[in-house]
């Protein structure tokens, strides 16, 4: 029994059915770190906020975790220790100013891709609304297309995804962010098709040939025989979104052809690639574009870790 005017000690809190949230978080962080999870503090906070149903920034306004919440939290921590992606556990991934739904069967968008989206946003914002037409190839969850549409405003974007499961996630995200799209006066259309031939004769994007201002793509670019070390990627991202042929550039080449077909003269393309397929690679993405007279002003760009991550170019007349 608590003495009036005295704060109960930790052991009394446990008996009363709840424990200090700070203690629970510290213990979870230690176990996640021991399991090799690369961001234990962030993940413990994110999972606790998810269980409590509060924004992560408001979590520390709470000083307790009742037993029912702790049970749910412990289940999630155990799954995260087994390297199930954090985004699968909470059902969403943050991307620039939005959150998109993700789960098994769809590629989880990464922070590095936010830079590619930002480049497309800058170009589209500089154009009058009538020219804010873009195509996002290999869209996955639709994160790039949706972020661009919402941040630019008055944009018309077609997002292409070949896999039926991923395309369903993308359509669901369009519905999820419908109010944001309406407020921005933008439209995103999801098309299930192959990025390499969707603009060919008879293809679903054939009518857009030569009319598009921006094409973005985060295609599969891991060589088929490469060893992916991160369990979250290797075991949970769909292989179709990861592997791109013997040199990793099979889909990239086909998607570049599609981009060249879709873009008007002066149109802008942004292509994500691995850090081994950048400026210093003899047969990397910048080299592919420079050897093709349909492209000019080819530039490679660094990611948040100062590694080559995406290439941009302009469509010639």
DSSP state of 270: E
Whether residues 32 and 159 fall in one domain: no
Please answer whether residues 98 and 181 qualify as being in contact, where contact means their C-beta atoms are separated by less than 8 angstroms.
Answer: no
**Residues 269-279: what's their mean pLDDT?**
96
Would you state the pLDDT for residue 101?
Answer: 98
Cα–Cα distance for residue pair 98/273, rounded to 1 Å? 23
Is 4 part of any domain? no
The alpha helices in 187-249, defined as continuous H runs, are 231-234, 239-242
At 89, which helix (H) or strand (E)?
helix 86-90
pLDDT at position 302 is 96
Segments forming the whole domain that contains residue 149? 104-315
* Same domain for 123 and 76: no
pLDDT interval class at 75 (50, 70, 90): very high
262 Cβ partners below 8 Å, 6+ apart?
Answer: 135, 199, 205, 208, 209, 210, 211, 212, 215
Are 163 and 238 within 8 A, CB to CB? Answer: yes
Residue 80 has pLDDT above 60, yes or no: yes
Q: Given 48, 82, 116, which residue is the final one in a domain?
A: 82
pLDDT, residue 69, reads 92
Region 300-309 average pLDDT: 94
Tokens linked to 277: 């397929």
Please report which helix (H) or strand (E) contains residue 92, including its range: strand 92-95
Which domain CATH number covers 110?
A: 3.40.50.150
If asked whether residues 33 and 141 sit together in one domain, one would say no
Half-sphere exposure of 142 (CA within 13 A, CB side): 34
pLDDT of residue 58: 84
pLDDT at 9 over 50: no
Residues 42-65, mean pLDDT to the nearest whole number: 89
Question: Residue 186: pLDDT above 50?
Answer: yes
Same domain, 53 and 128: no
Residues 236 and 293 placed together within one structural domain of the fold:
yes
- Provide the token pair at 200: 């060919």
* Same domain, residue pair 52 and 160: no
pLDDT at site 1: 37
Q: How confident is the model at residue 33 (pLDDT cuts 50, 70, 90)?
A: very high
Rounded to an integer, what distance in angstroms lies between the CA atom of residue 128 and that of residue 190? 23
> Into how many domains does the chain fold?
2
Phi, psi of 186 (to 5 degrees): -115, 160
- Domain check: are 143 and 289 in the same one? yes
**Would you say residue 200 lies in a domain?**
yes
Whose structure tokens read 């369990």?
231
CB 98 within 8 A of CB 91: no
Mean pLDDT of 50-60: 88
Nearest alpha carbon to residue 34 among 45, 19, 44: 44
Domain membership flag for residue 145 = yes
Q: Tokens in use for 151?
A: 């941040």
Residue where one domain finishes, among candidates 47, 82, 117:
82
Domain annotation covers residue 308? yes
Residue 247 pLDDT exceeds 80: yes
Backbone angles phi, psi at 56, to 5 degrees: -60, -35
3-class state of residue 187 by DSSP: strand
296 phi and psi angles, rounded to 5 deg: -140, 175
Does residue 98 fall inside a structural domain? no
For residues 306 and 235, membership in a common domain is answered with yes
Q: Verify that 201 and 63 share a domain, yes or no.
A: no
Has residue 236 been placed in a domain? Answer: yes
pLDDT at 7 over 60: no
Q: Which pLDDT band holds residue 18 (cuts at 50, 70, 90)?
A: low
| Domain match, 172 and 124 both | yes
Domain assignment present for residue 90? The answer is no
Q: Last residue of a domain, which of 31, 47, 82?
A: 82
**Are the CB atoms for 275 and 301 separated by under 8 Å?**
no
Region 260-288: mean pLDDT is 96
Give the C-alpha separation, 2 to 4, whole Å. Answer: 6
Question: 14 and 140: one domain?
Answer: no
50 and 183 part of one domain:
no
Share the mean pLDDT of the chain: 93
User: Each residue of 191-231: pLDDT tens digit?
Assistant: 999 999 999 999 999 999 999 999 999 999 999 999 898 99
Per-residue pLDDT at 62 = 74
User: Has residue 94 been placed in a domain?
Assistant: no
């Amino acid at each position: 029994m608590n003495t009036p005017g005295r704060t109960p000690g930790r052991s009394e809190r446990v008996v009363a059915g709840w424990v200090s949230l700070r203690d629970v978080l510290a213990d979870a962080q230690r176990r996640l770190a021991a399991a090799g999870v690369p961001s234990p503090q962030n993940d413990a906070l994110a999972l606790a906020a998810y269980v409590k149903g509060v924004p992560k920034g408001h979590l520390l306004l709470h000083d307790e975790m009742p037993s029912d919440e702790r049970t749910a939290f412990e289940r999630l921590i155990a799954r995260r220790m087994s390297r199930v992606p954090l985004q699968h556990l909470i059902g969403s991934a943050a991307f620039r100013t939005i959150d998109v739904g993700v789960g098994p069967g769809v590629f989880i968008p990464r922070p590095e891709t936010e830079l590619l989206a930002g480049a497309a946003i800058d170009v589209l914002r500089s154009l009058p609304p009538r020219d804010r037409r873009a195509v996002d190839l290999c869209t996955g969850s639709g994160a790039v297309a949706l972020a661009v549409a919402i941040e630019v405003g008055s944009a018309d974007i077609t997002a292409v995804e070949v896999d039926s499961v991923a395309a369903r996630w993308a359509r669901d995200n369009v519905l999820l962010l419908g109010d944001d799209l309406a407020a921005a006066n933008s439209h995103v259309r999801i098309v299930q098709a192959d990025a390499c031939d969707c603009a060919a004769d008879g293809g679903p994007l054939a009518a857009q040939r030569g009319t598009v201002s921006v094409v973005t793509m985060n295609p599969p670019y891991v060589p088929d025989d490469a060893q992916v070390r991160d369990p979250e990627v290797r075991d949970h991202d769909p292989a179709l979104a990861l592997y791109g042929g013997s040199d990793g550039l099979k889909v990239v080449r086909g998607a570049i052809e599609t981009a060249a077909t879709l873009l008007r003269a002066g149109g802008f393309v942004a292509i994500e690639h691995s850090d081994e397929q950048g400026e210093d690679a003899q047969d990397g993405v910048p080299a592919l574009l420079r050897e093709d007279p349909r492209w000019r002003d080819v530039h490679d760009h660094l990611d948040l870790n100062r590694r080559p991550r995406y290439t941009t170019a302009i469509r010639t007349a």
